[in-house]
């Protein structure tokens, strides 16, 4: 027994020294899962011997175990309207700004709830009501960033960060349901406006919406100076298909049991002079040879439930028009993105960061970049995911198909989700309600309509005083 205690002491001592070398930020020194450990297995000397032999055979066992058990932060919640749930390994939590989202977390919106999520590579993800995304991986290399996620169901906008500027416009913001944002100074403060004492009437005539775009473009330029260009690569999975995406945005509408719709979105939505440089490929589920299909800009595609039939969907622009309208002008959201990018993302966009610094200071593993004649670790990871995920999703589809057949055979009612106004109704209402709504409410009732509610100049002057 004394020998066993001595061996255990030596093992723990060595484990502590080695763990200190490879331990990530905020990661515990001990790798023992005390909550789920089996006492009989733990005290079994034969188990200890087998473990010791395996550790001798694989000297990097501690590094591998720390990598596998470590969960890196992939992003944070910017804003939630309603009930937003983050599913973790230890339970479900209602979240809001600035809650952390770790790898393998499932984020969903319940009822008529909406959310904007900031990912550490600079991407913004918008979830409409009854939508769900599982954020599986965020990998950092010196030459690129890699994100792996699954769109489980609902309406999701995947909006990558572009280094280009936005075209200013005097038209008001469209995604008004998220305003005001919880992050400070995401709008235009009084100190940023200024005025000319020789032209006080200009205070009335100025347009604060254009000032937002000026601030946004200034923040983008400042962040671009602090980090060199680094490409983000995405592997986005739907239940019936996959998207390999490099440097472009996309919108998804996933309806389990019905089908999916998706659209590649070019940055020309926000800057007409921009030339698209990225690509987006569609990959079918299944076991046959992988064949990627390149997707064209700003076209909707329809994918049937089985994932075997994909066609262009010209009616998408009309059917899903309200979803595109709500994210057409979002300067405050983008200002908040740049502020969070400056606070959280700058280190990941450096091209010469050291593995030890990234692990100890930020809590991330540095993936090897591409060398001549070899594949980078992110390329190897993507190659593996293309094969494994295709087979996994096909298995899930077969199980779902069998379930549908069983329900129909038993004569039970099968309720499948379809695209409906619930995805945009509440947000569209928030956008359509103007400041002048008070006037219309008074006009409909018996109350007298005051001149202050009808005269634009008087109303603007007094609004500036508030």
Rounded-to-integer distance, Cα 396 and Cα 393, Å: 5
Q: Is the pLDDT of residue 26 over 90?
A: no
Q: What is the structure's pLDDT at 170?
A: 87
Nearest-Å Rg of the Cα atoms of the chain is 26
Rounded-to-integer distance, Cα 100 and Cα 78, Å: 10
Rounded-to-integer distance, Cα 111 and Cα 94, Å: 13
Q: What is the structure's pLDDT at 281?
A: 80
Where do we find the tokens 């969070």?
Answer: 340
| Pure H helices in 206-276 | 208-226
- Going by DSSP bridges, is the β-strand pair 366-367/132-141 parallel, antiparallel, or unpaired? parallel
Of 18-22, 133-137, 319-323, least confident by mean pLDDT is 18-22
> Per-residue pLDDT averaged across 429-451, rounded?
56
Q: Is the pLDDT of residue 154 over 90?
A: yes
How many of the other CB atoms lie within 10 Å of CB of 461? 13
User: What residue ranges define each of the domains in the chain, with the CATH number in brackets?
Assistant: 2-68 (no CATH), 71-380 (2.60.120.1440), 434-465 (no CATH)
If phi > 0 it is left, if psi is from -120 to 50 it is alpha, else beta; for residue 431 that is alpha
Q: What is the pLDDT of residues 216-251, one digit of tens each?
A: 999 999 999 998 889 889 999 999 988 888 767 899
Residue of higher predicted confidence among 403 and 451 = 403
Q: Is the pLDDT of residue 262 over 90?
A: yes
Rounded-to-integer distance, Cα 79 and Cα 87, Å: 17
Q: What is the structure's pLDDT at 454?
A: 53
Q: Is the pLDDT of residue 13 over 70?
A: no
Q: State the DSSP string of 419-430.
A: --GGGTHHHHHH
Residue of higher predicted confidence among 145 and 291 = 145
> Per-residue pLDDT averaged across 443-464, rounded?
53
Of 203-212, 260-269, 434-443, least confident by mean pLDDT is 434-443
Q: Is the pLDDT of residue 466 over 60?
A: no
Q: What is the structure's pLDDT at 90?
A: 81
Q: Is the pLDDT of residue 63 over 80?
A: no
Q: What is the pLDDT of residues 283-302, one digit of tens each?
A: 777 666 666 777 888 889 99
- The model's confidence at residue 460, banded by pLDDT at 50, 70 and 90, is low
- Going by DSSP bridges, is the β-strand pair 144-159/366-367 parallel, antiparallel, or unpaired? unpaired
CB 267 within 8 A of CB 260: no
Q: Is the pLDDT of residue 280 over 80?
A: no
> Per-residue pLDDT averaged across 171-189, rounded?
80
Rounded-to-integer distance, Cα 136 and Cα 28, Å: 21
């Amino acid at each position: 027994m004394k020998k066993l205690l001595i061996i255990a002491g030596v093992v723990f001592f060595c484990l502590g020294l080695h763990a200190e070398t490879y331990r990530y930020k905020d990661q515990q020194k001990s790798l023992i899962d005390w909550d789920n450990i089996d006492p009989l297995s733990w005290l079994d000397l034969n188990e200890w011997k087998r473990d010791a032999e395996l550790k001798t055979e694989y000297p990097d066992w501690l590094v591998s175990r720390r990598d596998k058990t470590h969960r890196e932060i992939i992003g944070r919640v910017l804003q939630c309207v309603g009930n937003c749930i983050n599913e973790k390994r230890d339970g479900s939590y209602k979240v809001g700004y600035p809650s952390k989202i770790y790898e393998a977390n499932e984020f969903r919106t319940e009822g008529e709830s909406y959310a904007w999520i900031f990912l550490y590579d600079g991407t913004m993800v918008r979830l409409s009501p009854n939508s769900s995304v599982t954020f599986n991986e965020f990998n950092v290399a010196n030459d690129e960033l890699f994100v792996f996620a699954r769109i489980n169901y609902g309406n999701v906008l995947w909006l990558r960060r572009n280094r280009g500027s936005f075209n200013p416009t005097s038209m008001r913001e469209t995604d008004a349901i998220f305003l005001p944002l919880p992050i400070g100074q995401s709008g235009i403060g009084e100190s940023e406006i200024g005025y000319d004492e020789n032209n006080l009437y200009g205070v009335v005539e100025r347009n604060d919406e254009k000032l937002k775009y000026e601030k946004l473009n200034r923040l983008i330029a400042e962040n671009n100076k602090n980090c060199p260009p680094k490409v983000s690569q995405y592997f986005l999975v739907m239940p019936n298909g996959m998207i390999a995406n490099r440097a472009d945005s996309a919108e998804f509408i996933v309806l389990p049991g019905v089908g999916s719709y998706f659209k590649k979105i070019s940055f020309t939505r926000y800057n007409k002079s921009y030339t698209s440089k990225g690509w987006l490929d569609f990959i079918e589920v299944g076991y046959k040879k992988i064949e990627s299909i390149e997707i064209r800009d700003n076209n909707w595609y329809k994918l049937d439930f089985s994932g075997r039939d994909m066609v262009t969907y010209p009616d998408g622009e009309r059917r899903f028009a309200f979803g595109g309208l709500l994210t057409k002008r979002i300067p405050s959201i983008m200002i908040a993105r740049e502020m969070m990018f400056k606070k959280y993302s700058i280190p990941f966009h450096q091209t010469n960061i050291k593995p030890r610094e990234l692990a100890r200071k930020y809590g991330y593993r540095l993936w090897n970049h591409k060398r001549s004649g070899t594949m980078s670790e992110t390329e190897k990871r993507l190659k593996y995911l293309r094969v494994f995920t295709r087979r996994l999703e096909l298995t899930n589809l077969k199980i779902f198909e069998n379930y549908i057949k069983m329900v129909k055979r038993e004569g039970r009612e099968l309720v499948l989700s379809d695209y409906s106004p619930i995805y945009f109704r509440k947000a569209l209402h928030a956008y359509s309600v103007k400041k002048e709504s008070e006037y219309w409410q008074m006009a409909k009732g018996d109350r007298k309509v005051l001149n202050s509610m009808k005269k634009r100049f008087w109303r603007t002057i007094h609004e500036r005083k508030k």
